[in-house]
Structures are given as structure tokens and as C-alpha cells.
């Protein structure tokens, strides 16, 4: 990797730091969706800018990344779903990017489509694609057949047990989802290289029924195994040991 390579970054909350450090060390971190001119950096980040290469918010799972890829390359239709709270409107797939909400449903959909277009452009233009895997737990909508980054009702939206459900993803389905996604990316951009990382940030809550320590170890182990499996079989896919660097006892001092 040199400073001329265009690098795009997506993934969990830990993935936000990768782009920041690439920029600090003068690497070519591609941010396609930029904040309004002269916006203070703290405000930009509060509104979801300059966290990733497009304003997607956190993409915690391989299946959520696959969903974005399917939308960007017109493989599946984008749901029309919009959440309302106190007269303001929120994007279920980016609930944190507009803290006070949008003024209308139409504004939500236009902003979402704008981000999808920038996401598409980032994939097409990148030399290197970095994805940080964060979770094996996810929340789904059975009507729209889609996945949310957060459980409906935790921040905005309303939880409906008739259509919303929790899913604990297993190794095989995560591997299949991520492999399908990376294959699409590499088919659409023949020059691109992939770097996978696993977030070292521990789970603070779980819906799995397990103790949080057990759930965290299980989740990180599965994600690390998937990343290792895929990177060992394709020369265009590398694994960067962010999880090991933070959590290994070898790097902890007395």
C-alpha cells in the first residue's frame, strides 16, 4: 500500500478510526460523501460525515454490508421504510446520521439514495476496500426482508414483534454472505484489493441469552474465523490483526 492508493473504509464503530488514522498519516483515504463546506469537524462527525467513505453509518455485519452492495448495484430494491418520532423522520438503515431527524419522508429517501450513490462510487473508484467486522447479532424485518443496524425502538422507531426479529448469525452464513459480497465488489472493480479486520471493541449487551462475556468471545471468534478463512484462500483478500493488537496479552504491560 502506498500513499497514491485510494482506500475506502466501512464497518463497525472501530472502523471509524481506520480512516482517521489513514488521513493523519497522509494516506489517500477516499471520502466521497462530504459535509457542507466549512462545517466544523465535530459537527460533521455528529451528522455521520467523515466517519466512513460514504455516510452509511456503522455497518456491523457481513449481511448488512451485503445489503448495501445489493442496493448500490441494483441487485435488490431499496425499501421505502421511514421511521417517525415527534414529527421528525429517520432512516431505519442510518438512524444515527441525522440526530434530530429529517423534515420529511421524502428528505429521508433522497438522503438515503444520495448515500447509496456515493457508496457505489467509492466501490468503483477504490484501490483498497477495508471492512471491519463487528457483530454476529442482527435485527431483521420479515416484510421488507431487510436488516437494520440497530434494534427498532432502541434509538428511534418502534419494535413490532410481528415483523421484527432477532437473529444470531452462524459461521457458515456469515462466510457465505461476506464471500458473496466480496465477489460482487471484485467483479465490479477488477483492480480492488480487500482488507478485513475484526473490531476489538467488546459487546456491551446481547440478546443471545448468553452471559455477555461468553457472547462476546463467541462473536469475535466466529468473525475472526471467517476473516481468516476467506483471506487464506484468496490472494486479493488480506486480514489485518486489529483485534489481536488490542486484545492480545502479549501487548499488555504489568
Name every residue whose Cβ is closer than 8 Å to that of residue 88 and which is 6 or more positions away in sequence. 100, 101, 102, 103
Condensed to tens digits (0 to 9), the pLDDT of residues 89-141 reads: 999 999 999 999 999 999 999 999 999 999 999 999 999 999 999 999 999 99
- Separation CA 153–CA 151 (nearest Å): 6
- In the predicted model, what is the mean pLDDT of residues 204-231? 96
Q: Which single residue is written with the C-alpha cell 414483534? A: 161
Instruction: Please report the DSSP string for 42-61 in residue order.
Output: HHHHHTT-SSSSSS-----S
Q: Which of 143, 196, 144, 203 is nearest to 168 (CA)?
A: 203
User: Can you give the pLDDT at residue 253?
Assistant: 58
pLDDT category of residue 241 using cuts at 50, 70 and 90: very high
For 164-207, strand residue ranges (E) read 164-168, 193-198
Distance CA 156, CA 151 (A): 9
What pLDDT digit, counting tens, does each position of 58-84 carry?
999 999 999 999 999 999 999 999 999
Helix axes 105-125, 62-72, angle to 10 degrees: 90
Backbone CA torsion sign across 19, 74, 181, 223 = positive
Answer with the residue of higher pLDDT: 247 or 21: 21
The pLDDT of residue 248: 81
The pLDDT tens digits of the residues spanning 155-203 come to: 999 999 999 999 999 999 999 999 999 999 999 999 999 999 999 999 9
Q: Give the mean pLDDT of 25-35.
A: 97
| 193-198/237-239 β-pairing | parallel
Q: Cell numbers 429521508 label which residue?
A: 108
pLDDT band (50, 70, 90) for residue 249: confident
What Rg, from alpha-carbon coordinates, does the chain have? 18
What is the band of 251 on the pLDDT scale with cuts at 50, 70, 90?
A: low
Angle at 234 between CA 169 and CA 146, to 5 degrees: 30
Mean of the per-residue pLDDT values for the chain? 96
Amino acid at each position: 500500500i502506498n500513499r497514491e492508493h485510494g482506500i475506502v473504509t466501512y464497518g463497525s464503530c472501530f472502523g471509524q478510526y481506520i480512516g482517521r488514522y489513514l488521513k493523519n498519516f497522509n494516506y489517500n483515504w477516499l471520502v466521497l460523501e462530504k459535509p457542507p463546506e466549512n462545517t466544523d469537524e465535530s459537527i460533521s462527525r455528529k451528522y455521520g460525515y467523515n466517519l466512513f467513505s460514504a455516510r452509511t453509518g456503522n455497518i456491523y455485519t457481513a449481511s448488512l454490508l451485503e445489503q448495501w452492495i445489493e442496493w448500490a448495484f441494483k441487485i435488490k430494491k431499496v425499501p421505502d421504510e421511514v421511521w417517525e418520532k415527534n414529527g421528525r423522520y429517520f432512516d431505519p438503515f442510518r438512524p444515527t446520521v441525522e440526530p434530530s431527524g429529517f423534515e420529511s419522508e421524502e428528505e429521508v429517501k433522497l438522503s438515503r439514495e444520495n448515500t447509496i450513490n456515493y457508496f457505489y462510487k467509492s466501490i468503483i473508484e477504490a484501490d483498497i476496500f477495508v471492512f471491519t467486522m463487528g457483530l454476529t447479532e442482527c435485527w431483521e424485518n420479515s416484510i421488507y426482508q431487510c436488516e437494520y443496524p440497530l434494534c427498532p425502538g432502541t434509538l428511534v422507531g418502534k419494535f413490532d414483534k410481528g415483523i421484527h426479529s432477532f437473529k444470531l448469525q452462524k459461521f457458515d452464513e456469515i462466510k457465505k454472505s461476506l464471500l458473496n459480497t466480496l465477489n460482487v465488489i471484485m467483479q465490479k472493480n477488477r483492480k480492488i484489493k480487500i482488507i478485513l479486520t475484526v473490531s476489538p471493541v467488546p459487546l456491551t449487551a446481547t440478546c443471545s441469552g448468553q452471559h455477555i462475556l461468553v457472547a462476546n468471545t463467541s462473536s469475535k471468534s466466529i468473525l475472526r474465523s471467517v476473516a481468516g478463512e476467506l483471506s487464506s484462500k484468496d490472494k486479493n483478500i488480506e486480514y489485518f490483526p486489529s483485534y489481536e493488537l488490542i486484545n492480545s496479552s502479549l501487548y499488555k504491560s504489568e
